[in-house]
């Protein structure tokens, strides 16, 4: 049982998708009801499996010792293995993926357009994400990384907003551009290391001895850069971020949740899983640039968010800003004070998890508003299609009309701006502590981000929920039970880890210590 | 081996020759006309049975004109498979006039025979003759739609380009004969080893490359490709994009590995002293894939788009050809094998679309996924595979080719060019997917069914993309056994 649980986590959703196809053949494609339930049940099973994994997970065990690890030969000719494992670095991501997938299926309950396609693609996406976080073989990792793009393309392209086709192909081209460089890095790692292997665990030992040069640069540096491009586009680090606001705005709610909640984390997960342990020397040299990029992300994302009048776009830019904290935190791994390095790295991983829950909640709430009012304008743009509305406030005074909804939005906004006692605060503070121990000036600049975050969240809150009620929305219904069901688990997690982060911290810190040790060993 | 005793090793070719003659004879007898179709298919099946029986044997036939070896067997399998499929599918193509079905089948069989010879010629004269035997019927096949202006244009362009290229190649071959005094490539190799002055080898080498490059549509000898592919009847386009290209690669590999390397065999690792043709090929490969891709981006006609995309695939295969090593040959063969299936299924889908919807322009494919969801799903799979994304066999093919560059630590710049090209190719392949899936169509849509033969051809050829991704080890093992060249 223990060794098959990781395989099941990946392939239960695939089985669900296949089951849907059978249903479609037997009963015709029209019955959206079947597909919803199949999707909900499969992601439910996956969530239960993830729960079992969590309960039996021992953070002290490394991947080679863990009872969950599966290692089988797939293509012996290339020494490719079906190698799955879980450690402190991947378990929060696995739990997050399982939770968000389930929640997203529930929140997509009203999808009627081509339900078969939507839910089966969603399950494939789920499987791909799970695979990325569980693969310990670089080839397998790469496969899942790419497999995930296909359903995402269709989900944005078919069920998205007016500019969906452009957004979908832009997302695909950007991320493919990044991942093809990863393919080159993968091959270089395979052929330069001795023995030739794709196993990320073995590579940690063998990569160190590569001392070849190419075009006047060391091969290891080139590999680092290739991996960096691949991961940076995913994070996204600022010059590569332009796919993100577009994709988020056009994607349907549940897909935005997955994009922001899970996909962005893959970039930083890739740094921690592959770049850091394999190329610690290059990482140390690059750490300062990484921190600078992190600070740029924080400030750039936040200032852009301030400028947005589309609520969803604002939340999308807030993600850019929040991922900046993660970059600052992981750059602090080079800190000469052990406490600083630990705070930075643990804070970064916690921020990845916490941002996943917070941003998911934000996108779900935005989606609920959109479902009811069919627009998301905080302020209507000047060239709006109805000239009498141009420049007017989009909402206003909803607070009195939909109090429960407003309460949750306030909760999510405060979590987003890093209010103490909510989970975002803890992880952001830890990233700053870590960052401050190495990059003083940068961190001081970065703390401005907190202020900027507060500006746009509070201003948006004020414009939408306070003031006199906009008469257009005098019949606005409040949150439904189904919607509550999707929001409450996230809110509970945000509150719980805000007050008592120890369970999360205990789970991840041994793995992060391991990475810090590798990095510190080359300084 | 003497001519008479060679015949017993030549049974598959003899079967094809008999079938060609029979088809021509049956065509003039009105009662028997309808038997030409099953006869052609039957002959191909019979030939493949005999070919399979002798698989792996290695002989020199007809006094050193032809060699039978595992390498040629592999390619012959590809030729038989694609010709069989094309003859089968052509019957369900509306454009083609069934009155000419016998001629059409006979011509295809002649091309098949020519390709058989191409993959196993080991004599300069045989090389030239076999290429012509493939080319001349192809010119006619491209112009098969007698009343269609574009088809006539295609045929004429093909003739002019083709004869020019083969003229240059013949010139190159004759120079080789002049400086070495023999037409047997084994003897030529030995003589070339002794020549120190590089220009005297470069000159014929480049002229020969013109002829071969034209067959595989390598830039800058690709100009005929888009026009011919667009004008020719679609099954012929599908055929030309796969089989003669595979034959071109077969002869390219055989000639270059035996004539222009130090070792003079498929296990070669170094080019002739002083001659740096791998760099020449690497540059040609980069230009071929880049140009093919950039031109494909602008295309709005599905057939033309696929035509340019085949040019870029050739560029990819040439990338491995720039690495002289048996592994590189294996990578090319794997890619060709996978490419055969994915390209045929893509073109069959184009046949389906033009037959049932009269759709040629990409916009005509709008909302096709609602008209035939099953075929569109498989077409999407094929396009993903052509792009080279996992989880498809196209990715495996590309992966092996990239792996060759890294394994031999050569031409990294080419790897970067190629990787950027595969991003570009995503854009235009997904234009078709966008039309099929993303574009909304107003109102009721009627389901459109393909003829079962077309339907199952697309599905089978496309399904291999998943199959050979999940487990490709047996395939690679099979190819591994097939890279032996006969050496006298």
Maximum separation of any 2 CA atoms in chain B, in Å: 74
**Which of A143, A183, A191 is the closest to B407 by Cβ?**
A191
Structural contact between residues A156 and A168, judged by C-beta atoms closer than 8 angstroms: yes
What pLDDT, in 10s, does the model give residues B30-79? 888 888 889 999 999 999 999 998 887 888 888 888 888 889 999 999 99
Q: Across all residues in chain A, what is the average pLDDT? A: 88
Q: What is the pLDDT of residue A1?
A: 63
Let me know if B146 is exposed, middle or buried by CB neighbors in 10 A (0-12, 13-18, 19+): exposed
CA distances from A287 to A283, A290, A394, A434, B231 (A): 6, 5, 43, 13, 58
Q: Would the CB atoms of A169 and B412 count as touching at under 8 Å?
A: no
Q: Would the CB atoms of A184 and B415 count as touching at under 8 Å?
A: yes
**DSSP result, A408-472:** HHHHHHHHHTT-TTSHHHHHHHHHHHHHHTT-HHHHHHHHHHHHHHHHHHHHHHHHHHSSSPPGG
Q: What is the pLDDT of residue B111?
A: 94
Termini Cα distance of chain B: 11
Pair of tokens at residue A520 = 């510190």
- On whether residue A162 sits in a domain, the answer given is no
Q: Would the CB atoms of A143 and B390 count as touching at under 8 Å?
A: yes
- Closest CA of chain B from A230, distance in Å: 13
Higher pLDDT, B190 or B171: B171
Give, as one character, the DSSP assignment of residue B486: P
Q: Report strand pairing: A80-84 vs A213-214.
A: unpaired
Q: Is the peptide bond before B220 cis (omega within 30 degrees of 0)?
A: yes
Q: Is the pLDDT of residue A22 over 80?
A: yes
What pLDDT, in 10s, does the model give residues A59-113? 888 888 888 888 888 888 888 889 888 888 899 999 999 999 999 998 888 887 7
Highest mean pLDDT among B81-95, B125-139, B188-202: B125-139
Give, as one character, the DSSP assignment of residue A334: G
Q: Report strand pairing: A70-75 vs A213-214.
A: unpaired
Which distant-in-sequence residues (6+ apart) come within 8 Å of B115 by Cβ? B75, B76, B79, B130, B134, B243, B244, B246, B247
Q: What is the pLDDT of residue A143?
A: 92
Helix count and strand count (H, E) for chain A: 22, 4
Higher pLDDT, B455 or B271: B455
- Residue A396 zone, left/alpha/beta (φ > 0; ψ -120 to 50; rest): left
Q: What is the pLDDT of residue B339?
A: 92
Q: What is the pLDDT of residue B487?
A: 66
Alpha helices in B121-198 (DSSP H): 124-142, 149-180, 185-194
Q: Would the CB atoms of A172 and B434 count as touching at under 8 Å?
A: no
- On whether residue A64 sits in a domain, the answer given is no
Structural contact between residues B357 and B375, judged by C-beta atoms closer than 8 angstroms: no
**Which of A29, A157, A188 is the closest to B406 by Cβ?**
A188
- On whether residue A382 sits in a domain, the answer given is yes
DSSP lists the bridge partners of residue A37 as none
Q: What is the pLDDT of residue A523?
A: 79
Give, as one character, the DSSP assignment of residue B64: T
- Count CA atoms within 13 Å of residue A465 on its CB side: 21
Q: How far apart are CA A366 and CA A409, in angstroms?
A: 9
Strand ranges inside A212-310, DSSP E: 213-214, 217-218
Q: For residue B416, how far is the Cα from the chain centroid?
A: 25
Q: Is the pLDDT of residue B98 over 80?
A: no
Model confidence at A359, in pLDDT bands (50, 70, 90)? very high
Model confidence at A29, in pLDDT bands (50, 70, 90)? low
Pair of tokens at residue B396 = 């495996």
Higher pLDDT, A245 or A471: A245
Which distant-in-sequence residues (6+ apart) come within 8 Å of A479 by Cβ? A368, A402, A404, A405, A408, A487
Structural contact between residues B344 and B242, judged by C-beta atoms closer than 8 angstroms: yes
Give the residue from chain B lying closest to A226, CA to CA. Answer: B416
The fraction of chain A above a pLDDT of 90, given in percent, is: 28
Mean pLDDT calculated for residue range A115-136 = 90
Residue to mutate among B437, B472, B475, B479, with most A CBs inside 10 A, is B437
Q: How far apart are CA A131 and CA A144, in angstroms?
A: 6
**Which of B409, B422, B434 is the closest to A180 by Cβ?**
B422
Please report residues of B whose CB lies closer than 8 A to that of A184. 402, 415-416, 419
- On whether residue A137 sits in a domain, the answer given is no
Pair of tokens at residue A428 = 């952001």
Residue A12 sits at φ, ψ, to 5 deg, of: -60, -45
Mean pLDDT calculated for residue range A179-200 = 88
Model confidence at A472, in pLDDT bands (50, 70, 90)? confident
**Which of A78, A150, A214 is the closest to B384 by Cβ?**
A150
Which distant-in-sequence residues (6+ apart) come within 8 Å of B66 by Cβ? B6, B10, B60, B117, B120, B121, B122, B123, B126
Give the residue from chain A lying closest to B377, CA to CA. Answer: A117
A vs B, Cβ pairs < 8 A, gives: 72
Model confidence at A197, in pLDDT bands (50, 70, 90)? confident
Number of domains in chain A: 1
Please report residues of A whose CB lies closer than 8 A to that of B407. 191
CB-based contact, B56 to chain A, within 8 Å = no
Q: By C-alpha distance, which of B85, B108, B104 is closest to B96?
A: B104
- On whether residue A354 sits in a domain, the answer given is yes
CB-based burial, A58-93: b 16+ in 10 Å, e otherwise: ebebebeebebbbbeebbeebbbbbbbbbbbbbbbb
Q: For residue B88, how far is the Cα from the chain centroid?
A: 18
Pair of tokens at residue B167 = 């003229």
Which distant-in-sequence residues (6+ apart) come within 8 Å of B124 by Cβ? B173, B176, B177, B183, B184, B185, B188
Structural contact between residues A81 and A73, judged by C-beta atoms closer than 8 angstroms: yes
Strand ranges inside A76-228, DSSP E: 80-84, 213-214, 217-218
**Which of B402, B422, B476 is the closest to A77 by Cβ?**
B476
Pair of tokens at residue B410 = 């050569």
- Closest CA of chain B from A186, distance in Å: 10
Q: Would the CB atoms of A157 and B434 count as touching at under 8 Å?
A: yes
Ranking A60-64, A197-201, B410-414 by mean pLDDT, the lowest is: A60-64
**Which of B391, B403, B438 is the closest to A187 by Cβ?**
B403
Helix count and strand count (H, E) for chain B: 20, 2
Q: How far apart are CA B149 and CA B227, in angstroms?
A: 12
Structural contact between residues A418 and A450, judged by C-beta atoms closer than 8 angstroms: yes
Q: How far apart are CA A428 and CA B192, in angstroms?
A: 71
Model confidence at A194, in pLDDT bands (50, 70, 90)? confident
Residue to mutate among B316, B388, B406, B447, with most A CBs inside 10 A, is B406
**Domain enclosing residue A336, as ranges:** 279-523
Q: How far apart are CA A350 and CA A430, in angstroms?
A: 9
CB-based contact, B430 to chain A, within 8 Å = yes
What pLDDT, in 10s, does the model give residues B429-464? 999 999 888 888 877 778 888 888 889 999 999 988
- On whether residue A141 sits in a domain, the answer given is no
Q: By C-alpha distance, which of A28, A37, A8, A21 is closest to A108?
A: A37
Q: How far apart are CA A90 and CA A453, in angstroms?
A: 28
Q: Would the CB atoms of A75 and B434 count as touching at under 8 Å?
A: no
Q: Would the CB atoms of A172 and B412 count as touching at under 8 Å?
A: no
**Which of A143, A180, A181 is the closest to B391 by Cβ?**
A143
Q: By C-alpha distance, which of B466, B456, B448, B296 is closest to B395?
A: B466
Q: How far apart are CA B207 and CA B188, in angstroms?
A: 16
Structural contact between residues A440 and A351, judged by C-beta atoms closer than 8 angstroms: no
The fraction of chain B above a pLDDT of 70, given in percent, is: 100
Structural contact between residues A47 and A157, judged by C-beta atoms closer than 8 angstroms: no
Higher pLDDT, B346 or A469: B346
Mean pLDDT calculated for residue range B169-189 = 89
What pLDDT, in 10s, does the model give residues A370-425? 888 888 888 888 887 878 777 788 888 888 888 888 889 999 999 888 888 888 88
Mean pLDDT calculated for residue range B355-383 = 88
CA distances from B355 to B113, B142, B382 (A): 30, 18, 20
Pair of tokens at residue B221 = 């000898």
Q: Would the CB atoms of B415 and A149 count as touching at under 8 Å?
A: no
**Which of A143, A158, A169 is the closest to B430 by Cβ?**
A169
Q: Would the CB atoms of B423 and A142 count as touching at under 8 Å?
A: no
Please report residues of A whose CB lies closer than 8 A to that of B437. 154, 157-158
> How many other C-beta atoms lie within 10 A of the C-beta of residue A204?
17
Q: Would the CB atoms of B409 and A157 count as touching at under 8 Å?
A: no
- On whether residue A142 sits in a domain, the answer given is no
Please report residues of A whose CB lies closer than 8 A to that of B395. 146
- On whether residue A453 sits in a domain, the answer given is yes
- Closest CA of chain B from A116, distance in Å: 12
Q: How far apart are CA B306 and CA A479, in angstroms?
A: 51
Model confidence at B488, in pLDDT bands (50, 70, 90)? low
């Amino acid at each position: 049982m223990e060794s098959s649980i990781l395989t099941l986590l990946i392939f239960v959703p695939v089985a669900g998708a296949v089951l849907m196809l059978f249903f479609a053949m037997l009963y015709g494609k029209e019955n959206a009801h079947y597909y919803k339930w199949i999707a909900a049940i499969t992601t439910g099973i996956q969530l239960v499996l993830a729960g079992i994994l969590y309960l039996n997970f021992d953070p002290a065990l490394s991947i080679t010792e863990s009872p969950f690890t599966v290692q089988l030969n797939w293509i012996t000719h290339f020494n490719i293995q079906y190698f799955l494992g879980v450690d402190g670095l991947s378990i929060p991501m696995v739990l997050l993926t399982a939770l968000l997938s389930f929640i997203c299926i529930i929140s997509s309950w009203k999808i009627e357009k081509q339900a078969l396609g939507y839910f089966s693609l969603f399950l494939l996406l789920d499987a791909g994400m799970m695979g990325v976080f569980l693969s310990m073989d670089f080839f397998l990792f790469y496969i899942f990384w790419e497999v995930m793009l296909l359903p995402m393309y269709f989900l944005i392209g078919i069920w998205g907003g007016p500019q969906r086709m452009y957004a979908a192909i832009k997302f695909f081209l950007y991320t493919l551009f990044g991942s093809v460089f990863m393919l080159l890095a993968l091959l270089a790692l395979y052929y330069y290391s001795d023995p030739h292997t794709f196993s990320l665990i073995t590579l940690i030992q063998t990569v160190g001895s590569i001392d070849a040069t190419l075009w006047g640069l060391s091969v290891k540096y080139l590999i680092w850069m290739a991996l960096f491009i691949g991961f940076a586009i995913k994070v996204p680090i600022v010059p590569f971020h332009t796919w993100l606001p577009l994709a988020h705005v056009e994607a349907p709610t549940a897909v935005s949740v997955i994009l922001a909640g899970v996909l962005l984390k893959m970039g930083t997960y890739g740094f921690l899983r592959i770049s850091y342990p394999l190329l610690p020397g290059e990482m140390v040299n690059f750490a300062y640039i990484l921190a600078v990029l992190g600070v740029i992300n924080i400030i750039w994302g936040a200032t852009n968010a301030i400028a947005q009048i589309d609520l969803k776009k604002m939340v999308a830019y807030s993600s850019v800003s929040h991922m900046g904290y993660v970059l600052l935190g992981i750059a602090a791994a080079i800190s000469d004070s052990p406490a600083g390095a630990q705070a930075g790295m643990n804070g970064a991983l916690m921020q990845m998890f916490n941002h996943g829950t917070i941003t998911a909640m934000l996108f779900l709430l935005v989606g609920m508003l959109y479902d009811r009012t069919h627009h998301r304008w905080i302020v209507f743009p000047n060239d709006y299609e109805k000239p009498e509305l141009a420049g007017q406030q989009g909402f206003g005074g909803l607070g009195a009309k939909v109090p429960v909804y407003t309460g949750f939005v306030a909760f999510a906004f405060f979590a987003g701006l890093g209010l103490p006692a909510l989970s975002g605060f803890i992880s952001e503070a830890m990233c700053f502590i870590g960052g401050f121990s190495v990059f003083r000036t940068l961190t001081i600049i970065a703390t401005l981000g907190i202020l900027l975050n507060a500006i746009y969240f509070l201003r948006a809150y004020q414009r939408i929920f306070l003031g006199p009620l906009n008469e257009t929305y005098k019949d606005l219904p409040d949150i439904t039970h189904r919607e509550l069901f999707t929001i409450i688990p996230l809110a509970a997690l945000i509150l719980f880890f805000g007050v008592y982060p120890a369970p999360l911290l205990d789970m991840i810190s041994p793995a992060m210590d391991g990475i810090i040790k590798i990095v510190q060993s080359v300084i | 081996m003497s001519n008479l005793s060679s015949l017993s090793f030549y049974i598959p070719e003899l079967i094809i020759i008999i079938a060609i003659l029979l088809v021509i004879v049956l065509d003039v007898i009105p009662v028997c006309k309808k038997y030409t179709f099953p006869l052609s298919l039957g002959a191909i099946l019979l030939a493949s049975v005999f070919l399979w029986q002798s698989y792996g044997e290695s002989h020199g036939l007809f006094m050193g004109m032809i060699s039978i070896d595992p390498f040629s067997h592999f390619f012959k399998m590809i030729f038989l498979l694609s010709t069989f499929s094309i003859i089968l599918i052509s019957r369900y193509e509306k454009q083609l006039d069934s009155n000419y079905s016998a001629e059409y089948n006979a011509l295809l069989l002649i091309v098949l025979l020519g390709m058989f010879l191409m993959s196993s010629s080991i004599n300069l004269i045989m090389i030239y003759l076999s290429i012509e035997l493939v080319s001349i019927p192809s010119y006619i096949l491209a112009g098969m739609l007698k009343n269609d202006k574009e088809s006539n244009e295609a045929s004429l362009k093909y003739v002019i380009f083709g004869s020019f290229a083969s003229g240059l190649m013949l010139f190159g071959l004759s120079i080789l004969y002049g400086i070495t005094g023999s037409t047997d490539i084994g003897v030529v190799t030995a003589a070339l080893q002794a020549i120190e002055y590089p220009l005297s080898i470069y000159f014929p080498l480049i002229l020969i490359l013109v002829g071969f490059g034209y067959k595989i549509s390598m830039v800058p000898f690709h100009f005929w490709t888009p026009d011919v592919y667009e004008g020719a009847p679609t099954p012929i386009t599908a055929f030309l994009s796969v089989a003669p290209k595979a034959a071109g690669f077969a002869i390219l590999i055989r000639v270059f590995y035996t004539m222009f390397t130090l070792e003079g065999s498929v296990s070669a690792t170094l080019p002739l002293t002083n001659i740096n043709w791998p760099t020449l090929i690497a540059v040609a490969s980069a230009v071929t894939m880049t140009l093919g891709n950039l031109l494909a981006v602008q295309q709005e006609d599905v057939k033309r788009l696929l035509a340019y995309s085949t040019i870029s695939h050739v560029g990819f295969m040439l990338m491995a050809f720039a690495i002289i090593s048996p592994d590189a040959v294996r990578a090319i063969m794997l890619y060709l094998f996978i490419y055969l299936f994915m390209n045929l299924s893509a073109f069959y889908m184009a046949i389906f679309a033009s037959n049932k919807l009269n759709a040629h322009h990409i916009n005509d494919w709008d909302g096709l996924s609602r008209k035939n969801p099953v075929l569109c799903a498989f077409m999407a799979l094929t396009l993903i595979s052509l792009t080279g994304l996992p989880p498809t066999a196209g990715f495996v093919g590309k992966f092996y080719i990239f792996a060759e560059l890294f394994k031999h630590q050569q031409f990294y710049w080419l790897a970067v060019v190629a990787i950027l090209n595969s991003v570009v190719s995503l854009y235009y392949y997904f234009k078709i997917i966008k039309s099929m899936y993303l574009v909304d169509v107003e109102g009721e849509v009627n389901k459109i069914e393909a003829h079962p033969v077309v339907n199952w051809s697309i599905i089978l050829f496309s399904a291999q993309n998943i199959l050979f991704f999940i487990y490709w080890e047996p395939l690679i093992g099979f190819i591994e056994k097939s890279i032996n060249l006969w050496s006298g």
